[in-house]
Amino acid sequence: MSEGDRLTELAKRRGFFIQTAGSYGGVAGFYTYGPEGAALKANIESAWRDRYVTREGNMEISAPTIMQEEVFEASGHLDGFDDMIIECPECGESHRADHLVEDDPDSTVEDAEALPIPDVEGLFEDHDITCPTCGWELAGEPVEEFNLMFETNIGPGSSDPGYLRPETAQGIFVEFPQLAEYARNQLPFGVAQIGRAYRNEISPRKALVRVREFTQAELEHFIDPETDEPPLWRVEDVVLPLYSAEQQDADDGGVQEITVAEAVEEGIIQSDWIAFYLGISKAYYERIGVDMDRFRYRQHLPGELAHYASDCWDAESEIDGDWIEITGFAYRGDYDLVKHEQYSGEEYSVFKQYDEPVTVEKPTVDPDMGYLGPEFGSAAGEIVTELERLAASDPDAFEGDEVTVEADGEAYTIPVEKTGFEIEEVTESGEHITPHVVEPSFGVGRMVYTVLAHAYETDEVDGEERTYLSLPPEAAPTTVGVFPLMDKDGLAERAKEVANQLREAGLEVTYDDSGAIGRRYRRQDEVGTPFCVTIDYDSLEEETVTVRERDTTAQKRLPIDELPGTLSALRDGDATFDEF
C-alpha cells in the first residue's frame, strides 16, 4: 500500500477527511474535513495566523469568495489562468495533458506545464501516450487551453457575470486604497487572509493535493522597492534546503544546505524579501510538524515564472516519492496594483512625504477642451486622462507635431499644440509611489496532507503493531484523552470531572470509557493525541492520575490540580514531558 493510500484509509476511518457527498457518488476534487481533520486544519491555520499576522504585526481581512468579472479581467485570470486539456475520443474522459506527459514512464520531462502546447502534442506522439482510463492512443489529439475559474451570475439573469475567486490575493488587492488608509499610508505593511479559493481542475488527484475547492493562507506585503529592506538579521543564520534553478539544470545537481545570509550574498535568492520569508517560514513548518528531511525550497525555472513574478520559490514536501508544492513565495512587483488602477480608475498608490521639499521639472498637460470636445465628443474626458498619463510616463512622446493615445480601445491623434504640454518647475513635498508586493501563499489542505503523511509512524507495543501520528502537541486535533480505568466505583464520574476541568482550562479533550484501556490508548495514538490521563482507584484516594505520553508510551504520576497548567505548558511547547 502506498503512503497516500495508507493515509487516505486512515483519514476516512478516523475522521480526518472524506470525499464529499459519498452517498451520492461524490464528485472528484471536493473533500469534507471530519472532526479530527477540521481540528488539525484549524490548528495549522491558528499557528499561521500567530506567525504571519500577530508576530509580524500585519493586518488580516476576510473578503468575499465571489467578485465581478472586471476584477479578473484586471488580474489577468480571464485570459491567462489556463491548464492544458486533452480529451480521449474513445471514452470521452478529459485529462491534464502535462500530467500525462510527466507520468509517462518513458518521459524524462518533469515540468511539462512550462512547455508550449505544440511541444506537449509532440511528446504524445514521441512516447505513444495513452488514455489512463481506457488505453486509447492519444497521439494526434489536440491539446487545448482550459480556463480554471468557476463562472456564476451575480443577481438574477446573466447581465452581471462573476467568478469564484481562484486565489484569495485579489480580495486584498482590490481593497488596497482603503487598506492603505488603515495603514496610515505608511510602507511597508502587510495584509493577510485565510479563506476559500476555487479552481475547476481538469484532473483532481492525490486526495487533498489537487482539489477544486481549497483553503489558502496568503500574505501580501506592500513595500517601497527603493527604500524598504527586510530585517534579514533575524534569519541570517537559518539554514535553508535550497534547490536552485542552477542545481536543477546541472547533471549532478541537488539540494544545497545554505544559510540565508550566504544565499543572499551569493545571489542564489535574488530578492532579500523572499529570503526573509523563506527564513521565518522554515520555523513555521517545523512548528506544525513538517519533516525537514522531506522538505526543500525549489526555485522556479524561467519557463515556470508567472507573468507577474520576477523571482519565485516553492516550499515542497515529499510524499510517496513525489514533491508537492505547499507554499509559493513570489515577488509580484507592482503588477497587480497597476492593473487594478488601470481598470478601476481609482488610485492604487501611497503618498511618500519627503524629509524636505524639492524643486523638480515636471511635465504637465492643459488640453484645449474647446478643441477636444467638438473633435472627439464623449471620448474627450478619457483622452485627457490618457494624455496626463503619457506626459508622466513618456514626455518625449510630445516632441513631434502630434501625439497618439488609446482610449476605450481606440487610437486618437491630437496636435501637440492642443495638449498644452509643457515642462514646469514645481516644488513638491512628496510623491505618489506604487508599492511592490511580496507574497507568501500557503495551501492549507496540502499542509494538512503533508503533516499527516510525515507524522504517520508504526512501532510495536506489548507485542502488537501500533500506528500513531507523531503530531506536535500544538497541532494535534486533541490535546488529551481522559479515561476511567473502569466504568464503576465512581471512576467514571471523577474522570468526567477531570475532563471538564481541563476543558475549562482551554484544552481540547476527548473522554473515552469504551473497551480495554490499551485499546483506548491505541485509538488516541492513531489520531495523534499526545497525552492520555487515566483515572484509577489511587486517583480517588490520592488525587493523582497517570499521564501517558504518545510517542514513547512513558507514564508519570501527577497531581490532578496541576494537570491544567502542566498539559497547557506541554501543548504550547513551554515544557517537555521529561521535565515532570
State the SS3 of 486-518. Answer: CCCCCHHHHHHHHHHHHHHCCCCEEECCCCCHH
- Note whether residue 88 is domain-resident: no
pLDDT in single tens digits along all 580 residues of the chain: 889 899 999 999 999 999 999 999 999 999 999 999 999 999 999 999 999 999 999 999 999 999 999 999 999 898 878 889 999 988 988 999 998 998 888 877 877 888 889 999 999 988 889 998 999 999 999 999 999 999 999 988 777 899 999 999 999 999 999 999 999 999 999 999 999 999 999 989 899 999 999 999 999 999 999 999 999 999 999 999 999 999 999 989 999 999 999 999 999 999 999 999 999 999 999 999 999 999 999 999 887 777 666 789 999 999 999 999 999 999 999 999 999 999 998 999 999 888 778 888 889 899 999 998 998 888 888 899 899 989 988 999 999 999 999 887 889 999 999 999 998 888 777 888 999 999 999 999 999 999 999 999 999 988 889 999 999 999 999 999 999 999 888 999 999 999 999 999 999 999 999 999 999 999 999 999 999 999 999 999 899 999 999 999 999 999 999 999 999 999 999 999 988 8
- Note whether residue 76 is domain-resident: no
Say if residue 222 is in the same domain as residue 345. Answer: yes
Q: State residue 307's pLDDT score.
A: 65
Say if residue 194 is in the same domain as residue 340. Answer: yes
Q: What is the CATH number of the domain that holds 299?
A: 3.30.930.10
Q: What is the DSSP letter of 205?
A: B
**Burial (Cβ within 10 Å: 0-12, 13-18, ≥19) of residue 470:** middle
Cα–Cα distance measured from residue 235 to residue 13, given in angstroms and rounded to the nearest whole number: 41
The residue type at 58 = N
Cα–Cα distance measured from residue 421 to residue 81, given in angstroms and rounded to the nearest whole number: 40
- Note whether residue 77 is domain-resident: no
Helix residue spans in 250-361 (DSSP H): 260-265, 272-288, 335-344
Q: What is the CATH number of the domain that holds 547?
A: 3.40.50.800
Question: Under a CB-based contact definition with an 8 Å cutoff, are residues 326 and 310 in contact?
Answer: no
3-state secondary structure 386-423: HHHHHHHHCHHHHCCCEEEEEECCEEEEEEHHHCCCEE
- Note whether residue 461 is domain-resident: yes
What cell was used for 524? 488516541
Identify any residues that bridge with 358 across adjacent strands, giving them in sequence order. Answer: 428
Tell me how crowded residue 177 is: count the other CB atoms within 10 A of its CB.
16
Say if residue 326 is in the same domain as residue 464. Answer: yes
Say if residue 188 is in the same domain as residue 265. Answer: yes
* Total domains present in the chain: 3
Question: Under a CB-based contact definition with an 8 Å cutoff, are residues 313 and 325 in contact?
Answer: no
Q: What is the DSSP letter of 23?
A: G
Q: State residue 79's pLDDT score.
A: 83
- Note whether residue 219 is domain-resident: yes
Output the DSSP codes for 330-341.
Answer: EEEETHHHHHHH
Say if residue 412 is in the same domain as residue 286. Answer: no
Say if residue 427 is in the same domain as residue 488. Answer: no
Say if residue 281 is in the same domain as residue 247. Answer: yes
Say if residue 218 is in the same domain as residue 313. Answer: yes
Cα–Cα distance measured from residue 495 to residue 510, given in angstroms and rounded to the nearest whole number: 11
- Note whether residue 536 is domain-resident: yes
Cα–Cα distance measured from residue 180 to residue 351, given in angstroms and rounded to the nearest whole number: 10
Cα–Cα distance measured from residue 316 to residue 442, given in angstroms and rounded to the nearest whole number: 11
Answer positive or negative: Cα dihedral of 41, 45, 51, 54: negative
Question: Under a CB-based contact definition with an 8 Å cutoff, are residues 479 and 469 in contact?
Answer: no
Q: State residue 276's pLDDT score.
A: 98
User: Range of 381's domain?
Assistant: 356-433
Final residue of a structural domain among 453, 470, 487: 470
Within 8 A by CB and 6+ apart from 198, the residues are 65, 149, 150, 164, 165, 166, 212, 213, 214
What is the distance of C-alpha 339 from the center of its chain? Answer: 22
Q: State residue 181's pLDDT score.
A: 95
3-state secondary structure of 356: strand
- Note whether residue 15 is domain-resident: no
Say if residue 267 is in the same domain as residue 415. Answer: no
Cα–Cα distance measured from residue 387 to residue 365, given in angstroms and rounded to the nearest whole number: 7
Output the DSSP codes for 112-172.
Answer: GGGS-HHHHHHHHHHHT-B-TTT--B-TTPPPEEEE-PPEEESSSSSSSEEEE-SSSHHHH
pTM for the model: 0.87
If residue 12 lies in a helix (H) or strand (E), which one and from where to where? helix 3-14
- Note whether residue 109 is domain-resident: no
Final residue of a structural domain among 415, 433, 451: 433
- Gyration radius (Cα) of the chain, Å: 29
Say if residue 445 is in the same domain as residue 426. Answer: no
Say if residue 172 is in the same domain as residue 270. Answer: yes
- Provide the angle, in degrees to the nearest 10, between the axes of the packed helices 444-455 and 35-49: 110
Q: What is the DSSP letter of 210?
A: B
Say if residue 273 is in the same domain as residue 401. Answer: no
Region of residue 291 (phi > 0: left; psi between -120 and 50: alpha; otherwise: beta): beta
Helix residue spans in 431-562 (DSSP H): 444-455, 491-504, 517-526, 537-542
Count of residues in the chain: 580
